[in-house]
Amino acid sequence: MLRDALIYLSGSKNARRFVTNAPGARSTARRFVAGETVEDGVAATRKLNQSGMKVTLDYLGESVNNRDEARQAADVYLQMIDRITAEKLDANVSLKLTQMGQDIDEGFLRENVGRILDRARAVDMFVRFDMEASTHTQKTLDFFRSLWADGYRNVGVVIQSYLRRSQGDIEQLNADKVRVRLCKGAYKEPESVAFQARGDVDASYVRLMQMLLEHGNYPGIATHDPAMIRATREFAKAKDIDPSRYEFQMLYGVRRDLQQQLVRDGYRMRVYVPFGEAWYPYLMRRMAERPANLLFVVNSVLRESPFRVFMGRER
Q: How many angstroms separate the CA atoms of 151 and 149, rounded?
A: 5
User: For residue 309, what are the contacts with CB-CB under 8 A and spacing of at least 6?
Assistant: none
pLDDT, tens only, 247-259: 999 999 889 999 9
Q: Where residue 268 falls among pLDDT bands split at 50, 70, 90?
A: very high
- Indicate which residue of 179, 181, 268, 286 is catalytic: 181
Q: Does 54 score more than 80 pLDDT?
A: yes
Average pLDDT, the chain: 87
pLDDT of residue 119: 98
Tell me 239's DSSP state.
T
- Give the separation between CA 281 and CA 7, rounded to whole angstroms: 8
Which candidate in 58, 119, 128, 130 is catalytic?
130
Band (278; pLDDT cuts 50, 70, 90): confident
Q: What is the mean pLDDT of residues 23-50?
A: 85
Q: How far is CA 188 from CA 1, 260, 289, in A?
A: 11, 31, 11
pLDDT score for 307: 39
Task: Provide, rounded to the nearest whole percent, the portion of the chain with pLDDT above 70.
Answer: 80
What tens digit of pLDDT does each residue of 134-164 get?
999 999 999 999 999 999 999 999 999 999 9
Mean pLDDT of 115-141: 97
Give the model's pLDDT for residue 218: 98
For the segment 197-205, the average pLDDT, to the nearest whole number, is 97
- Which helix (H) or strand (E) segment holds residue 165: the answer is none
Cα–Cα distance measured from residue 10 to residue 61, given in angstroms and rounded to the nearest whole number:
13
Distance (Å, rounded) from C-alpha 29 to C-alpha 125? 28
Looking at residue 214, what is its pLDDT? 98
Ordered domains of the chain (ranges, CATH): 1-32+279-315 (no CATH), 50-276 (3.20.20.220)
Q: Does residue 301 have a pLDDT over 50? A: no
Q: Strand runs (DSSP E) across 132-176, as ranges?
A: 155-160
For the question of residue 130 being annotated catalytic, the response is yes
- Specify the pLDDT at position 288: 64
pTM metric for this prediction: 0.85
Q: At residue 246, does pLDDT exceed 70?
A: yes
Q: Known catalytic residue: 105?
A: no
Question: Dihedral of the CA atoms 48, 226, 93, 242 (nearest 10)?
Answer: 90
Distance CA 204, CA 87 (A): 39
